[in-house]
Structure 1
Amino acid sequence: MTLEIGKLLAASTVAGALMASAAMAETELRMMWYNDGNEGEVMQSLLDRFEAANPDISVKLDVVPYKSIIEGLPIQLAAGAGPDLARVTDLGGLNKFYLDLTPHISDTAYWEASFGPFLDWLAPDSDQISGFMTQLTVTGPYVNKTLFEQAEVAMPGEGATWDDWAAAVNQVAEKLDIPIPMAWDRSGHRVSGPAIAMGAQMFDAAGEPALVDDGLKEMTKRLYDWHQDGTMSKELWGSVSGSTYLGANEDFANAQVVMYMSGSWQIPQFADKIGDAFDWWAVPAPCGAAACTGMPGGAALVAMKDTKHPAEVGKLMDFLAQEESLAEFYGKTLFIPGHLKLATGGVDFATSDPRAKHALQTFSGAVPTISSVAFDLQGYKNNRVMFNALISRLNEAIVGELTLDQAYARMEEDIAKQLAEKALE
C-alpha cells in the first residue's frame, strides 16, 4: 500500500510540474521567417533571450523558403490562417493584413523617431505602426577594383555620372578583354533608382502613377544604347522574358563583369564567395541631372491583425525593436540598418573583410541621401505593377521586339490595366 501511495504521489508531482510548465508558457506566438543568410540563427538567439525574460510567452520561429513568403503567405492571410508575425518584402502590398501595434507598444515616439519613413512603407494610407525593417537594402553598383588597377584606368570619383562610369568600364574591358563591361540586375526596381537620378518623378501632382516622363526616358535610352553597343550583354537580359528577375552576381564573382549594378544584399554573398580573390568595391550611386540616388528596399517583420494575442505580440515587437537588439541583429547579419540612428553609426559589423566593411559603410552612408521620390515609390503599395511594366517592356525594346516609343506606350497601358483590375478586387 505504501508503495502504491508513493507511486501516486510521484505521478501527481510530475503532472503538477507539467501543468505548471504549460501555465508558464500559456501563450505561443508563431513567426513566419525566411533566410538570406544567418539571420534566422541571430533572430533565434534574440527570441531565446525574450522567452527567458517572459516565461509566459513562447515564440516558434517557422523558417520557410522565400517562395512561401511571396506565394503562400498571402493565401494564408486571406483565409485567416496566417502567423502572428511574418518577415515580408511586399511591404505595402500586404498592409491590409497588418495589426496596428500602437495600443500594444510602450513608446510610439521611439518607433516614429527610429523608423520614420519606413513606417510609411508598411502603412502608406494611414499612421499605424505595424513593424520594423529587419533589413534595409540600398541599390548601387559594385566594381572590380582589381581590374581597374590592372588596366591602369582611374575609377571615377564621387559625383561621377552614369556616362562617366560607362566610359571607364569600357576602357577596362577593352584593355583586359573582359566580356561584360557593365551588368545590371534585370529588375524594374533596379532601373528605377537611376531613372529617378535622371529626373523621373514616378507620380503626377495628384500622387497617381506616372511612370513615363523625360527622366525615365533619359535612363532607359541609355540602357537601350548600352545593350546595342556592347557596354551591356544582350544575352543576360535577353535570356528570360516578361518581368522575370535575373541577377549577374555569378558573372561578377567570376570576374567576367567590370561593374555590376545590384545592391547591399550582395555583401554577405560576395564576402563568402569572392573573399579576397579580387577587390570587389561598392561605389556611390552615380549621378544624374536630379540626384545621386539608388532605390531603398528590404524586408520587415510585421504583426498580423488576425493574431489572438495582440498584447503579447506588442511586447515581443517592443523587445526586438530596441536599439540594443537591432544593433546586435544588424551587426551579426551584415545588414544595412533600418533604424535611423543606427544607420549613422553604432553597429559593430561582425566581419574582418575590408571589402565588406567598405561596402557596408558605402551603402549605410547612402541612406540619408536617397531621393524622396525613391522613398515614395518604395512605399507605394502597387509599385510592383510599375516595376514589372518597366522591365518587361524595356527588355522587349532591347531585344528588338518593340521600338522604345512603343515600349513606353505599352508600359503605360500595362499599368492602367493592372491598376483597374486591382481596383475591382
Structure 2
Amino acid sequence: MNGQAHWDEEMTVLGPGISEAVRWAGLAVTEAAGMHLTDTSGRRIADLMGAAGVNLLGHSHPAYVEALTRQIGSWMIGAHASDARLEMTRLLRHLLPAHLDRVQLYSSGSEAVESAIRLAKSATGRFEILSFWQSFHGRTLGSLAHTSGARTGLGPTAPGSISAPYANCSRCPLRLTSPACEFACVDLARDILREQSTGSIAAILVEPVQGRAGNVVPPTGYLRALRRLADEHGALLIADESMTGMGRTGTILASDQPDVLPDVVVLGKGLGNGYPVSAICAPTNLMQRGPFGAPSASSSSYGGFPLACRAVAVVAQTVHRQQLADRAGEVGARTLTRLRQDLAGLALVSSVHGVGMAIGIGLNVTGKEQLREVFQQLVAAGVLVMTGGHTLRLYPPLTADETELTAAVDTLVSVLQRYKAPT
C-alpha cells in the first residue's frame, strides 16, 4: 500500500489529534534506525523532527531495544518494586542535581505539569501560577491555561492563571535590547503580579528554552532573575524541561545554572526515548507536604510500571556512559555555526538560533501555507523537521553520527538556498 492510501485508510477512523507537521509530511514508515526513517516506498529520510525532541537516543537504539524486549518478556503490569525501578532511581540520582532527590512518574508531559502545579499549590497553600507568552505546557485543563495559542474557543482558563512576556530577545515585545534592558521583561512580570495577583502566587512555571515557540533561548541570567522573583513572593520555581531535559541542550538540565536551583523540574519526551513516560523531580520536603504527600494523592495509573522504568533507566545510563549531554553541546554548536554561516543573507531566513541539539531556523514566510511549502520541499529532498510558528525546529538524536547529520544539514541548506515560492 502506498503512503497516501495508507494515510487515507487510517483517517477514516482516527480523530484529528495528529500534529500538523506529521500530517504535512504524510509519511507511512516501515522501519527506523539511528536518525533515519524508511517509508513504504523504500525512501530513506533524515529525521530531524525526532517527534519534537522525543528521539533522544535515536531510533531502534540496540541497548534500548534489548532492554525493553527483555522487560516485556518478564513483567510489565503493576507499580510494585522492581529491578527496573531500582536501577532507574540509582541512575537518576546520579544524573540529577542533589536537591532534586525525589522522582514521581507519570505518562505524559501534560500530566506531569498538572502534578507539578498540584505540588506547588499543596506546598505553598496558594493557587496562582505565573507562566509566559508563547509557552507550551500541555493541553489538559490546568496545563492548557499556561499554553499560548491553544485556548481559543474553549472558555475560561483555570482560575489563578497569570501570564507575562518571555525573554525572546529577537522579538522583544518591549522593543528593547539585551543586555542593556537589564531584564525589563522580568520587571514587567513583577509589575503584572503586583497589579493582577491576589497575593497568592504558588509558582512560576517556565520553559528554560521555549520549544514550540521555535527553540527560543533566553539570555544568560534570565532564569536567575526569575528565581529571585519567585523568592520575593515565596513561590516555587517550576522548570518545565519536558523538551530540554536529559541532555538535549548540552547539560542534563537546561535549568541547572548558578543561583537558579528550580524547586520542581518536569521531565518528559526524551526521558523514555519514545516510551510514554514523564516525571516530576523535587526535594523530599516539598513532595511530602500537604495533600500531595498523602498516600495515592499524587499517583498515576501507569506511574512506576516496570517497562516505563526500564526505558528511563536505559536512557539515563546511555546519556551518562556516552556523555551525550556534552556531545549535544559540542555537535550542536558546530551545527549551529554551520547553519548561521550558510544561511546568512538569505531573504527566506530571519534567524538561526538554539542551544545544543535544539535548533530553530526562523523563516520570513507570509503564512502557514508558505511554511508548509518549505517543509514539504524539505521532505521531498529527504529531510524531516519540526515546525513551530514560522520556525523550522531541528531535534537530531544526541547519538546522531556527525557525518550523517552534516549530510542532512547540507540538504536542508541547499533546499532553503534555492527555495522560491510558487507563483
Query: TM (normalized to structure 2)?
Result: 0.24
Flag the structure with higher helix content: 1
